[in-house]
Every structure is written in C-alpha cells, then in structure tokens.
Structure 1
Amino acid sequence: MFDLVIRGGTVVDGTGAEPVEADVAVAGGRIVEIGKVEGLVSRTVDADGLAVAPGFIDPHTHYDAQLFWDPAATPSPMHGVTTVLGGNCGFSLAPVNPDDARYLQEMMAMVEGMPLLALEQGLPWDWETFGEFLDSLDGKTAVNAGFLVGHSALRRYVMGSDADQPASSDQLDRMVQALHDGLAAGGMGFSTSLAHTHWDGDNEPVPSRFSSTEEVLALAGAVSDHPGTWLEFITSGCLSMFSDEEIELMSQMSARAQRPLNWNVLTVSANTQDRTNHQLGAADAAAAVGGRIVALSMPTIGGLKLCFATYCPLYNMPGWKDTMNLPHEEKMAALADPETRRWLHEQAQTGSGGFYHMAQWENMEIGTTYSPENDGLTGRRVGDIAAERGQEPFDTLCDIVLADDLRTDLWPINADDSSESWAHRTEHWRDPRVIVGGSDAGAHLDRMCGTRYFTIILGDIVRTRGLLPLEEAVRLMTDVPARLFGLKDRGRVAEGWHADLVLFDPATVASDPIEARTDLPGDCMRLFAGAQGVHRVLVGGTDIVVDGQVTGSTPGTVLRSGRDTETVLP
C-alpha cells in the first residue's frame, strides 16, 4: 500500500541524468518505487507535463529567527526549497545567557537586517544551550532545517561584555567546550566572520572579529570530533581579493577540522575574471595542505534595495561609516554639503568587488518615493534623471533622497548583464570549487529577497537563456549541496531516499516580482516574491505548498549532525 503515487511526471533525479517519464511512489515519507507503479494507493497526484525533482536545498540562509513565527520559511518553499541551512556568518541564536538575549537581538537587527520588533515579539527566547534551541523547533517546521553554531554567539556566551577583547586561555577552553556541546546536540558545524562589514547593535565590530588566529583554529579543530559537520566562513577578502593570510587561515581551518569550508560569496562576471581566479585559487591552496574550500556563488544580480535612512551596504562603502551613522538631521546636512558629497563620491570610487558596483550611481534605479518633488521618478535610472537636470549622477541621487527625508528606496542595477558574463557565471557553477548559493534568505528582510534564485535559474537561465540543461540546473540546486554537506538520503529522486520533492512546469516556472509585505511580528515590513509554475512541494511525502500556497503542514525535520548527516572529508 502506497501513501502517495505521483503519476506521469518527468523525473529529473538530481544526478544530472537525462530526465525520464515515470511514476514516483511514496510510503512512510520515503520514495519506495520509481517507474510504472501499480498497486493500492491512498492518494494520487497527476504530474502530466510537470517535472518531478528533488526539493531544492538552500545552503546559506538566516532563517534561525523567522522559523519561530513562520514555520514554512516563506517564500522559500514557494520556489521549491525543502531544506534550509542557517547559523551562517558566525550568527546563531544560541548559546545565549538569559540576560544576553537583547544583545543578540540588536546584533541580528544590525548585521542581518531582521526587524528588532519582530525579534522581540516573534521568538520565545526561552533557551540557553544550542541543544535547547534545536529542541524548541523540533516538530514545528514545514521545511527541513539545520543550523551551524555561530562564533559571535559562542564568544558572547563565554565572555559577556568582554567579547571585544582577546580571549584568555580559560575563556578559549570554555568556548571550545560550548562548541563541543552544541555539535554533540546536533549543530551542523562552526561558522565565523572576520569581515569588516559586520557590526553589532552598538555599532562595534561583532564579537568574532576580535578573535585571534589561535582561537579560530582551536574552534575549527573541535569540529573534527563530530561526524557530519562542516565549516562556514566570511572574511573581508570575500568581497574583493583574499590576502595571503586569509587563504592560509581558511586552508588551516579546513585541514584542522578535516571538513569542507564554504565561504560567502563569489561574484562572477566578464569584468571580474582576475579576482574570481584569485579567489578560487584559495581552494587549490587548501587542497595542498589537506583541506577543502568551496565558494558560494549567488546566481542572480540586482535585487538589493538600499536606503540612506536605514542600515544597509551603503554604510560599508569606503569612508562612509561616520557620515552614515550621524544623527538624522546632521546626516541630512552632510549630504546637502557639496564638499561632503564630493568626498563621499571619491571614497566610493576606491572600492572594488562585492557590492561596490553600487557606486556606479548612474545605474541606480529609483524605487518608492515619498515627496511631491520626486513624483514620477519611480522606476527611472539616476543617470537619465541627472542628464535631464544637467547634474552629476551622485548630486542627483543626493537631491532625490534629501527630498524624501532620506527614505527613498534605491535599487542598484548591475550593469554587467551581458551574455558573456552569464556564460562565465554558468561555467563557474560547474566548477567543483563552487556551489550555487548565498541567498541570505531570512535576513536583510527590508532590502532583498534572495531565495527566488531557484526559480530564476529555471525560468531565466535554463528556459530563456538556454545556458544550462534542466537536469544540470536541478543537480546544482539539489545533489551538489547535499553531497557537500553530507545530507543523508536527500538531494535525489531515488528509491529509499526522503520524499522531499518539487513538481514544477518547465514551460512557465519563474519568480514573481519583488513586493513589500507587512506580515512580520509587530507589523514589520519585509520584501517578498512568490513564484509561478511551482505546482506542489512535498517534505517527507507531505504537501507543504500546493499551487503556490503554503498548506500549514509541518513535516520538516530539524536536521542534526551525525544523525541526519554523514562526514564529508576534504
């Protein structure tokens, strides 16, 4: 007796093999037969004209908080995602001392763009250890979710307000022990940040940025004692060029842990080949000392909303920090001053890589505006407006945001949308030193919606541009991350494997446009994008999305290292 048979679909199994028409039978949450299925069945789904693929895996999210008020982690499953991995960049919500929840709330609000009111109202904050955090989500999620243990949380847990100082040997020993405890409870591994862009709620560097090389390597080494774990890392060189010291540190972290290390995020275009080749060279250096480094590469461009009034990547432009952190009226006066404008513009031009393409002011698109002076500017590029006004683009941009009391929504448009650049990107996605990812889903809620990259790949890269065959695109979003992270029996449509599946129409699958929604705790706003052509998403054989709508079912598993993962050696 089968619980479910999906009939007549085209199975794209995740391995890269040629798609085949077949039925898929499910019983007890697992795939039990693929082919021409006969026998008794409780429920049948007609998949004629649809692709039947493994549920997509998002390797870089920050859904640690959102899952408490949104068990489906929307909009991810609407785009076919069935497994999310959180706790990245050194930012987990545990371990935490009872009187330190406020610090983590403010840090996550600052560095990951989660509304503070939502963090206050949407989470119980009734855990201390990492294991207790995992327990609080058990049985309550629609998607499968695994979490790394974050360095900044570990440091604050052990060192308190002294986490902005070097750790003593005793404090380091206690951090290592807390990490061991978290990994033994099911933490997926260890994540850390040394990136200059990461600041806490007090506008100070996040705790992990005060760590020594000795500390980072000691924590990485602890991971080797726990099966089915890995490392995740972000450093300043991820945004531009790695220093020799950064490459050495990553290599030694992986070698000490005897686990893969992935870093966030590789940008690829026709204009970044020297930087891309340099960054990917870190993987070769790691291999030489017995490690493995893999770059996450975000497969979309654009889609990052900016605003001069609230914290965003503009604050991390070279030399901008002091001006952008001024009180509101002083910031307004500074942006109105011609000399300050000139200085900010010159400083911005010294940046390279990462998000510094936004300093091409002429390519900035105006989003929502708020003043009569700016009526009619929505959807227009700053360069076109500046030409009409006879101004330099940065002066035009400053005039527009000042008229809106700094509230203008701005969308930087990456000029590198050429066929050559897209060919480079897809070529690199196939490189074993690269994995598709970097969505940051669950974070930066007021400025981006990265989770839609799955349907963008299927609709734009596969169908419209023809740069990848369907079976290869599915492999990159399923089997590749599953094998890198050692997810047991996930990432393929195969007999005996978990029935995490997505049914979509290859002829219509696409992302909806980004829109604003006010549906977070405290009536806070977020950016959201649904999908087209995704007909059904199942986790363990249970529907979590049907025709674009979440069902409310919560069959997801809180993934635990060792139990749900197997060790992947470098």
Structure 2
Amino acid sequence: MLDHLIQGATLVDGTGAPSRTADVGISGGRIVSIEVAGSGSGSGSGSGSAGASGSAVSVEDATGLILCPGFVDPHTHYDAQLFWDPYATPSLGHGVTTVAGGNCGFTLAPLNPARPEDADYTRRMMCRVEGMSLAALEEGVPWGWASFGEYLAALDGHTAVNAGFMVGHCALRRHVMGPDAIGGQPTAEQLEAMVQLLRRSMAEGAWGLSTTQSSTHSDGDGRPVASRHAGREELLALSRAVGEYEGTQIEAIVAGCLDQFSDDEIALFVDMSAAAGRPLNWNVLTIDAAVPERVPRQLLASSRARAAGGRIIALTMPILTPMNMSLGTFCALNLIPGWGEILGLPVPERIARLADPAVRTEMLRRANSPEAGVFRRLADFGRYVIGDTYSAANDGLSGRVVRDIAAERSQDPFATLVEICSADQLRTVLWPMPTDNDPGSWELRRDTWQHPDVMLGGSDAGAHLDRMCGAPYTTRFLGDCLRRRKLVPVEQAVRMLTADPAGLFGLRDRGTVAVGNHADLVLFDPERIDAGPATLVHDLPGNSPRLDSRAEGVVSVRVNGVETVRDDKLTGAVPGTVLRSGRDTRTVATR
C-alpha cells in the first residue's frame, strides 16, 4: 500500500524533459511509482501499474497542477536560524526542501572548549558580517557543542528541511590560533592542526571548506575576519585536505566576487579547485548590460579551472533582490570609502555631520570616485525609494522616490534624503531602485544562464534578515517564466532550481522525480505561483525584526515524503535530514 498517491499532475521531473501528465506514488519517504497517463504501466518500480492503481493511505487529485522536485538552495546562512525556526522560513514555503549552509567562511562550529569566549566572538561576528540579530543568536541557539559533529547532532531530527553545511575557515582558524587568528600567521604546527580539524569535521559530515577573502567581511570589532589573514599556502593546504573526503566541495569569496576578479584571485580559485579535485562555487555573479565586460571576466576563472583540472561555478540570482539601506545602522553604505567614519559616529553627532553641506559634498565625491568600486552604484540617491518612516515630518513619504521629493523641495537628492532620515533619527528605511532592470540586462541573464559553469542561487537566506529577502527567488522566478518575461521554459527553470544544484553538491537520490529517489516534492498552481512582497515582521528571538515574504500558489511541499506545506501554510512537520558528506553526497568530478 502506498503512503500517498498524487494523481493527474503535470510532472516536470527536473531533468529538463518535456512535461507530461502522471500519477506519482510515495511510500517510506521515497518515490516508488510513476505512471505516465496513457502508458498503462508504472515507471521503473518493478510493480507495473500497481503503484498508481493500487490502494493508498491518501490520494489527491492534482489535475491542472505542476509537480516537480523540491528546490535546492545552494547558498544560505540558516546555520543559526534552524534552531529557533526548524522550517527555514520563508524558504520552505517557497518550495525549498534542501539548503546548503556554512557559507562564506562562517560557521557556528567547531568551537574550542578551552576558550568559552569564542562563542561570544562568533555571535558578534555573525551579527556584524551576516546581519544576524545578536539577541536571536544569544537566545535562540543552544551553543552546547565543541566539534562540528556535535553541532550537526544538535540539529538532527529537528528540521523540516534537508540541510548540509560546509565548515567555515574562520572557525577553523579561531579554534587553532585563538585571538591570533586575526592578523597572525599560523606556525607549521598550527597549520597542521587546522588541516586535521578540517579533516575531522569532514569525517563528521561537513560538506567541505568555505572561506572568504572579501574586503567587505569584518568581525564584531570591525577588523578583517580571520580567513582574510590566510595566505595562499594555507588555503591550498586546506583545499588539498578537502580532496581526501568523499562528497566534498569548496565555497569561496574574494573581493572580486562583487565586481570583477583580479588576475591573482582567478589564479587562487583555479589552484584551490585543482588542488582539491573538487568543484569550487562562489557568490554572486551580478549581470548588468551596462557593464558588459563583467560576465566574460568572471567566467574566465571557470575556463581556466577546466584547463587545470578543476571546476569553478558562479552562482547568480534569477530575480532582482534589492537590499535596503539606512543611515542609522551598519549596511553597504558604510563600505563606501570615507563613509564609515561618518556613519560610525553616535547618532546625534552623525546627524550634525550629515547636516554640513561640505561633509555631504565630500561624501558624494568619494561615493562617485573610482575608489568606491562596485559601491558607486549606490550613489544615485535620487533613485532611492523611501520605505518605513517614523516621524510626523515624514508622513506620506513611504513609497515615494527621493528625486521627486527633492524637486518639490528644490534640493539636491542627497540633501533631501539626509533631511528625511534625520527627522526619523536615522531610522528611515531606504530602498535603492535597481539599475539593471532593463531589457538588455534580462537578455544577458538568459544568455549567461546557459553557461555550463553558471548556476542559479545566492539567496543568502538566513542572513541580512532586516536588509534583504532573497529566499523567494524560486517561486518568483517560476512566476516570471510562466506568466511574465518567459525567458526560459518551465522545464528548464525547474531543472535549474533542482537537478543542477543537486548535481553540484552530489546529492544522492535528490533533485529529480524518479523512482527510488527521496520524495522531496513541490506541487504548485502554474496560474498563481509567485512570491508576495517583502514585509518587516518581528518574530525572531528577542523580538528582533526580519523581512518575510509569503509564497503564492504553493499547494503542497513534501520533504522525505512528509507534507510540510499545504496551501501556502506550514503543517508543523519536521521530517528533514541533516545531510552528511559521503553518506548523503557523492564526489562530483571536475572533468
């Protein structure tokens, strides 16, 4: 007897094959039968049509609905959130059944039991670099582990999604070197200890190594995070260790990920992947027709890696995910050269400095200068949209464009923006309008998606919680493919969200709808599938805020055969698996 039978669905199986009408049977958390309408027999289960025509505990009519594999998000930061939110919201509601965490060099384990203060350091670092609520990290995470295996064990049986984790370079460095991890270089003995700790973590289930060399990544004290101090030989020693374990990967970030790689960064990525004999993925490839040289420059790393026996995968988002800004809290504006000195002042002093026309003129000069690099795109303040406001002086301004308000006040846009924010004691939420929403950029995206070393992803779900909401990219992309731009057919869109990322990580028996695979499934209405607007909610531990977005048109989500979402609402079930390297992943060839 089947546990559940889905009848008459339009099956988009994740392989890219044409859709077809099928009945899909589930038992014991796996897909046991697939009967295509009119075939008269089952598919590969050895039971003929019995799977579809036999009895089942529950049956549903899915006529007019699309059934596809659960989506795989290759770049999240749910490492902490899963402890207070086992449903990985909002990702699960948008059909994501498997998440990859532990990215960018930042993980909550391993922790050195001889230094209890390391947990506090890690919390403050995650608060600063990944925009996580410090109160949520303090109140919502148990922090009872030392080893990476103990961290994974703390999650076992308590998640609604499947979750796998890289081990962060910053945690390895801090564990071995202590405070000297910031600014110091390891001795030969310390480097060997770091390599051994990485090996132990992978033996316990870590998916591999993640690291960062990005100039934007600073710890809770404002200093470059630990892995930014690592030299080339340290990175290559760790990479070689990754290649010793089955089903492992490398994820890495450098400064050029934000714009364009330097020659040295390309060489480093190529050598790390080749040394490991494993794929290396990086986040995120920004595609903009106004910068046509960026995509070929970034993908040069991939072609050179293939020639050297490695493989480098660029993650890119299929939707525009704006990140809000603020003059009151740390954000990307602080990273513009010279701006951090002003925006780091106490609020009253900050308001006074911002009121000085000479200060604003110098800030604008630096924001528009070549030294600002990729952050120059933030300097067109007339294109900002006013979000939430907090004073009577700003009543009626939410949703309006700064350029229009400035024209009414006969001011320049930056002066207007400062005036609005100052009236709110700098609490005003600001939304930069994207500059890459033109037809040329969307055509360039469609072309770039066809490259064998480009993959959809990069949501950062679980991080920057009050700044951005990238988790809904799956449903918004499908809605776009079915009813709006229609850049790719739905079969290709589903493959890019399922089989492609599952293949990158070597996930065993996941990513496609096939007999014998785990029953990670999404059933959705093609006429309604979409994502709602991002709204600010206060539902984190400590009443901290985050942006949330509800899915539309998601009829059902199943993880390992158990329904976790029904009609866009969580069921409360937690059937997810903590995915361990080797056991749940296979080695992916780089050639």
Same fold (TM over 0.5): yes
Match of 1:50, as an amino acid?
A: L
Match of 1:449, as an amino acid?
A: C
Identity across aligned pairs (percent)?
55
Q: Which residue is 1:273 aligned to?
A: 292
Q: Which residue is 2:369 aligned to?
A: 350
8 Å contact from structure 1 (residues 3, 42) kept in 2: yes
Match of 1:370, as an amino acid?
A: Y
Which has the larger displacement, 358-367 or 437-446? 358-367
Is 1:150 aligned to residue 165 of structure 2? no
Gaps of 5+ in 2: 37-51
Give the one of 417, 421, 425 matched to 2:441.
421
8 Å contact from structure 1 (residues 462, 473) kept in 2: no
The change in CA–CA distance for 1:491 and 1:173 in structure 2 (over 3 A counts) is: same
Is 1:45 aligned to residue 60 of structure 2? yes
Which has the larger displacement, 527-536 or 168-177? 168-177
Which has the larger displacement, 166-175 or 345-354? 345-354
Match of 2:422, as an amino acid?
A: L
Is 1:58 aligned to residue 77 of structure 2? no
Give the one of 391, 396, 399 matched to 2:411.
391
* Pairing of 1:121-270 with structure 2 (within 5 A): 121-164=139-182, 165-270=184-289
Q: After TM superposition, give the deviation of residue 371 of structure 1 in Å.
A: 1.4
Which has the larger displacement, 39-48 or 186-195? 39-48
d(CA) in 1 for partners of 2:452, 2:297:
15
Q: Which residue is 1:363 aligned to?
A: 383
8 Å contact from structure 1 (residues 509, 533) kept in 2: yes
Is 1:316 aligned to residue 335 of structure 2? yes
Q: Which residue is 2:588 aligned to?
A: 568
Q: After TM superposition, give the deviation of residue 356 of structure 1 in Å.
A: 4.1
8 Å contact from structure 2 (residues 259, 286) kept in 1: no
Q: After TM superposition, give the deviation of residue 62 of structure 1 in Å.
A: 0.1
The change in CA–CA distance for 1:354 and 1:50 in structure 2 (over 3 A counts) is: farther
* Pairing of 1:514-553 with structure 2 (within 5 A): 514-553=534-573
Match of 2:24, as an amino acid?
A: V
d(CA) in 2 for partners of 1:277, 1:257:
25
What secondary structure, in the 3-state scheme, does the structure 2 residue paired with 1:42 have?
A: strand
What secondary structure, in the 3-state scheme, does the structure 2 residue paired with 1:451 have?
A: coil
Match of 1:434, as an amino acid?
A: V
Q: After TM superposition, give the deviation of residue 19 of structure 1 in Å.
A: 0.4
Q: After TM superposition, give the deviation of residue 130 of structure 1 in Å.
A: 0.4
The change in CA–CA distance for 1:294 and 1:355 in structure 2 (over 3 A counts) is: farther
Which has the larger displacement, 460-469 or 257-266? 460-469
What secondary structure, in the 3-state scheme, does the structure 2 residue paired with 1:35 have?
A: strand
Q: After TM superposition, give the deviation of residue 394 of structure 1 in Å.
A: 1.3
Match of 2:587, as an amino acid?
A: T
Is 1:68 aligned to residue 86 of structure 2? no
Q: After TM superposition, give the deviation of residue 318 of structure 1 in Å.
A: 2.7
d(CA) in 1 for partners of 2:213, 2:60:
48
Give the one of 95, 108, 112 matched to 1:93.
108
Partner deviation per Cα, 1:51-101 (whole Å, 9 max, x = no partner): 000000000000000000000101101111000000000001100124111
Q: Which residue is 1:410 aligned to?
A: 430
Give the one of 95, 100, 110 matched to 2:128.
110
Q: Which residue is 2:40 aligned to?
A: none
Give the one of 358, 361, 368 matched to 1:339.
358
Q: After TM superposition, give the deviation of residue 302 of structure 1 in Å.
A: 4.0
Match of 1:51, as an amino acid?
A: I
d(CA) in 2 for partners of 1:187, 1:203:
28
Q: Hey, which bits of structure 1, 4+ residues long, moved more than 6 A?
A: none
8 Å contact from structure 1 (residues 222, 257) kept in 2: yes
d(CA) in 2 for partners of 1:504, 1:230:
32
d(CA) in 2 for partners of 1:34, 1:355:
50
Partner deviation per Cα, 1:228-247 (whole Å, 9 max, x = no partner): 00000111001111111100
Match of 1:17, as an amino acid?
A: A
Q: After TM superposition, give the deviation of residue 15 of structure 1 in Å.
A: 0.7
8 Å contact from structure 2 (residues 103, 251) kept in 1: yes
Partner deviation per Cα, 1:118-171 (whole Å, 9 max, x = no partner): 000001100000010001001110000000000111111111111111111111
d(CA) in 1 for partners of 2:509, 2:172:
31
Which has the larger displacement, 374-383 or 13-22? 374-383
Match of 1:70, as an amino acid?
A: D
What secondary structure, in the 3-state scheme, does the structure 2 residue paired with 1:107 have?
A: helix
d(CA) in 2 for partners of 1:469, 1:194:
37
Q: Which residue is 2:7 aligned to?
A: 7
d(CA) in 1 for partners of 2:9, 2:439:
32
Which has the larger displacement, 92-101 or 123-132? 92-101
d(CA) in 2 for partners of 1:560, 1:270:
40
Q: TM-score, normalised by structure 2?
A: 0.95
Q: After TM superposition, give the deviation of residue 461 of structure 1 in Å.
A: 3.6
Q: After TM superposition, give the deviation of residue 354 of structure 1 in Å.
A: 4.9
Which has the larger displacement, 220-229 or 342-351? 342-351
The change in CA–CA distance for 1:505 and 1:515 in structure 2 (over 3 A counts) is: same
Q: Which residue is 1:463 aligned to?
A: 483
Q: Which residue is 1:373 aligned to?
A: 393
What secondary structure, in the 3-state scheme, does the structure 1 residue paired with 2:471 have?
A: helix
d(CA) in 2 for partners of 1:220, 1:58:
23
Q: Which residue is 1:554 aligned to?
A: 574
Partner deviation per Cα, 1:503-546 (whole Å, 9 max, x = no partner): 00111101011111111111111110011100100001100111
Q: TM-score, normalised by structure 1?
A: 0.98
Q: After TM superposition, give the deviation of residue 7 of structure 1 in Å.
A: 0.7
8 Å contact from structure 1 (residues 9, 23) kept in 2: yes
The change in CA–CA distance for 1:81 and 1:536 in structure 2 (over 3 A counts) is: same
- What is the RMSD of the two structures over their aligned residues, measured on CA atoms? 1.2
Partner deviation per Cα, 1:188-221 (whole Å, 9 max, x = no partner): 1100000000010011111111111111111111
What secondary structure, in the 3-state scheme, does the structure 2 residue paired with 1:155 have?
A: helix
8 Å contact from structure 1 (residues 111, 199) kept in 2: yes
Which has the larger displacement, 363-372 or 342-351? 342-351
8 Å contact from structure 1 (residues 267, 354) kept in 2: no
Q: After TM superposition, give the deviation of residue 390 of structure 1 in Å.
A: 1.8
8 Å contact from structure 2 (residues 481, 490) kept in 1: no
8 Å contact from structure 1 (residues 440, 450) kept in 2: yes
What secondary structure, in the 3-state scheme, does the structure 1 residue paired with 2:472 have?
A: helix
Gaps of 5+ in 1: none
Is 1:285 aligned to residue 301 of structure 2? no
Which has the larger displacement, 298-307 or 308-317? 298-307
Give the one of 489, 497, 518 matched to 1:477.
497
Which has the larger displacement, 160-169 or 312-321? 312-321
d(CA) in 2 for partners of 1:320, 1:537:
45
Q: Which residue is 2:456 aligned to?
A: 436
Q: After TM superposition, give the deviation of residue 349 of structure 1 in Å.
A: 1.3
What secondary structure, in the 3-state scheme, does the structure 2 residue paired with 1:196 have?
A: coil
